[in-house]
Structure 1
Amino acid sequence: MERLTDHLIIISFDCLSALDFPILKGLPHFQELLAHGSYCKRVETIYPSVTYPCHATIVTGKYPNRHGVVNNTLLQPGRESPDWHWHRKSIKGTTLYDEAKKGGMKTAALLWPVTANADIDYNMPEIFANRPWHNQILVSLLNGSPLFQLQMNRLFGHMRKGLNQPELDDFVLESTLETIKRKPDLLLVHFTDLDTQRHYHGFSSEEAHAALRRHDDRLGRIVGALRDNGIYDKSTIVALGDHSALDESKAVQLNTLLKEKGFINVSHRGKVTDWKAYCKGCDGSAYVYTKDPVSTQEVKALLERLQPDPANGIESILTGEEAARKGADEHCSFMLEARLGFYFKDALDGSFIHTITPEDVKHKRYTYGSHGYSPEKENYSTIFMAAGKGIRPHLEIPSMGLIDEGPTFARLLGLTLEDIDGKMIEEVLDI
């Protein structure tokens, strides 16, 4: 199949929303991208609309229950900091970067979710030290490209302050500019500055707007690096979001009720020793898993008692079968959607409904903005912009899905993603 571009640069600005479009139009580098390329400001995300399932969807063209990454974190009841779906092995089937590698292309990924131990030439995976005895640099080195990462850390490691933003994205940016010198055929980059600001300061906060301006500068620097390395005219630049976000001020902590009613047993140290039902949060939604038919019926009755009262924060209850039809985990017994102003937490202690205080947010125990909600929520679309080689200019696509991005990217590289849920957006391609 004919290749439409020499270099595909995919930049994910985590939590970039369709509601940001009026602001992006006024920022110089986003403005330039929009002026020369095609865009869609109504991209439907997936369910649950959290970062890791979204990024696995972007590179597979599949819904979460088909690619296997059904949540950010693993089901590990009671663990204070559950492990994330960091590793490539979490994804079933092939990905865009696997197909590119099979096609003899040079690949690079910087903090792209679910890429630990992936077969990527220049790989700095998003993975963090999640045990007291783990060392962050060592964990990253062992799960990505060691020499490449050592070089990036030597050059730019001083910029980082742990996982704090905007320092982390500044480090990722400098590493990206350095990686462009290697002229990869496929480059995947993930920036989380905006997502962090929205979580801790709210959707429309000044901190979020400042992050958008920083992202515009980052986009401009990447375009500049493509020019400096003589590959701008042979490149396709994509800027996209994975989900939007909504403000919230209350956390629904269903496990506190499940524990009270004997579905979860804990030791005197507070460790979960056994459970018959457990609520696994996805922020704006939650899975409820049960272990036996009796528990399933009892939990169903409990949820049906709670749901009608708006103060309990549960907008709707899906069965496992209904969740599966929306692309979520068919192994759950129920999937809950939060009402506006609420989100779900896995906490085992405290009140069932927790009203969030500035102190909670300051210590990063709770947030003021969340995602994970249903794609059917109003004003909850994300955004897609592409320009450069292989892209038709001046085209607005009325609507598309996150599942359509992978097959479209594959076509740009002259590749095919098999067995997908999405479709190629052919009208944006200059075939």
Structure 2
Amino acid sequence: MLHRFIKLICMLLGLAIFQSVVAQEKPKHVVVISIDGFRPEFYMDSSMPTPNLQEMFREGVAAKEVTGIFPTVTYPSHTTLITGTTPKEHGIYYNTLIKEDGSAGGWVYDFREIKSKTLWQAAKEKGLVTASVSWPVSVNAQYIDYNIPEFWSFENPMDRRGATSEKANPKGLFEEVVKNATGTLEINDYNLSSLTMDQNLARIAGYLLRKYRPNLLTIHLPITDGAQHRQGRKGLMVRKAIAGADNAIGVIRDALQKAGIEKETTIIVTGDHGFVDVHTQIAPNVLLAQHGLYEKKGGRPKAFFFSAGGSAFLHLRDENDEETLERIQQLFEELPIEIRSTFDIVNRDQIAIRGGDPRVRLALTAQRGYSFSNDTEGSLMTYKKGGKHGYYPNFHDIATGFVGDGKGMQKGEVIENMYLEDVGKIVASLLQLQLNQDPNFYHSTLKNGN
């Protein structure tokens, strides 16, 4: 499993010698657009309904694949994009908290949970103006001047309007963008139920670009994720969502032109993970329960697997319980071949390579066609069709993408592979920001002014 990463590390060492870029090649503005569930095929496949992305692909620089972090899920990945670090440094390990009984708790949304320095902070330290629209884990982010965070009502999660208004910065910003960018929003105009969400988010970003001209703007477009969860990698709903995301990019590009800052701007379109078609769901906690290992003490099981979709992470009540760890390893190794062949066991060293939860000693990652649940009762394996992510990032389908176009970017450059954490480093280099970490990345993405 590690041979691919060893090869990539060697490639990175060969290509990633940091090269400074002269001031005239640096943009004054960078827009980072994250498309949830963004796949390289969206811009490399000419049959896709993505004229904006394909134009950027021809005119700028792109990657054939971007290797994600582990697990390949939305909130940890977006925190990697904004910090240039993996979860073991920035501290956002999963989309949600974990309850005492091993089930999923509330979503991680508060910026104060992030342990690493962010691009927003680095930009503010340089005196730059920052803005963000619907970016995960951005609530209470004091370094964002104009912030419309990703947030919703806990009482009625479908209604995001009031909660977003409450957490927007400065106060009244949500009302300002509704008045000037979107018009009156009904409940389903501003949630994940329809294509309208991406369009409204793009209009908000466009308004902020024209009105306030931020040096750094980040925006998350979520709708392609839900479509792929429902239909998998292909389907009419997926194509519509992809077309909608591309149209949103067009709205943002148009706003840059109308703001008169297009020639001084770099646009980066990237994502958090790819997608895998699935047909069967595995419940590893059922096996633990069958062997008495899910027994609870003080509300916390002796051992449980926490599902991230395509992977499941083993948590022990006592992290140093070697006896239980060995017993669980043996249980899964001795499963019948027709079950054992549906997943791989990921050890602590492999978890660390892609920055996974350092508290975890062992994880499972599913083969294509399979995913995991947190169920503790019922069958070990059940039929479950759709699309999933969260897998260990060692195959193409789960990779995300990268396209960069504008001032300071190479023209027509295609990179075989890069890492998700490279994106934050590239943005830092473009805006000459200090992230307090190793700045090495694929230097060919940037123009060399020498």
Match of 1:261 in 2: 291
- Say whether 1:305 aligns with 2:327: no
Q: Percent identity?
A: 28
The equivalent position to 1:189 in structure 2, one of 219, 225, 238, is: 219
Match of 2:176 in 1: 151
Match of 1:295 in 2: 324
Question: What is the deviation of 1:247?
Answer: 0.2
Distance in 2 (alpha carbons) for counterparts of 1:211 and 1:95: 29
Unpaired stretches in structure 1, ≥5 consecutive residues: 357-366
Distance in 2 (alpha carbons) for counterparts of 1:43 and 1:134: 32
- Say whether 1:428 aligns with 2:450: no
Distance in 2 (alpha carbons) for counterparts of 1:163 and 1:404: 29
Query: Are the aligned partners of 2:199 and 2:247 in contact in 1 as well (CA < 8 Å)?
Result: no
Report 1:269-418 matches (<5 A): 273-292=299-318, 293=321, 294-306=323-335, 309-311=337-339, 314-356=342-384, 368-418=386-436
The equivalent position to 2:205 in structure 1, one of 161, 173, 176, is: 176
* CA root-mean-square deviation: 2.5
Distance in 1 (alpha carbons) for counterparts of 2:416 and 2:327: 45
Distance in 2 (alpha carbons) for counterparts of 1:313 and 1:141: 48
SS of residue matched to 1:116: coil
Distance in 1 (alpha carbons) for counterparts of 2:402 and 2:265: 17
- Say whether 1:48 aligns with 2:65: no
Distance in 2 (alpha carbons) for counterparts of 1:134 and 1:37: 38
- Say whether 1:122 aligns with 2:140: no
CA deviation map 1:121-141 (0-9, x unaligned): 111212233457997444334
- Say whether 1:31 aligns with 2:54: yes
Match of 1:361 in 2: none
Question: What is the deviation of 1:156?
Answer: 4.6
Question: What is the deviation of 1:2?
Answer: 4.1
Distance in 1 (alpha carbons) for counterparts of 2:166 and 2:189: 19
The equivalent position to 2:271 in structure 1, one of 238, 241, 245, is: 241
Distance in 1 (alpha carbons) for counterparts of 2:191 and 2:101: 25
Distance in 1 (alpha carbons) for counterparts of 2:221 and 2:213: 20
Distance in 1 (alpha carbons) for counterparts of 2:330 and 2:159: 45
Query: Are the aligned partners of 1:78 and 1:348 in contact in 2 as well (CA < 8 Å)?
Result: no
Question: What is the deviation of 1:209?
Answer: 1.4
SS of residue matched to 2:172: helix
Match of 2:33 in 1: 11
Distance in 2 (alpha carbons) for counterparts of 1:280 and 1:347: 10
Distance 1:174 1:80, change over 3 A: farther
Question: What is the deviation of 1:22?
Answer: 0.7
Distance 1:153 1:27, change over 3 A: closer
Match of 2:6 in 1: none
Question: What is the deviation of 1:147?
Answer: 1.6
- Say whether 1:87 aligns with 2:135: no
Distance in 1 (alpha carbons) for counterparts of 2:84 and 2:271: 15
CA deviation map 1:190-235 (0-9, x unaligned): 0111111100111111211121211221111111111111111111
Unpaired stretches in structure 2, ≥5 consecutive residues: 1-21
SS of residue matched to 1:150: helix
TM-score (norm 2): 0.85
Question: What is the deviation of 1:409?
Answer: 0.4
Distance in 1 (alpha carbons) for counterparts of 2:442 and 2:114: 23
Distance 1:26 1:250, change over 3 A: closer
Distance 1:133 1:56, change over 3 A: closer
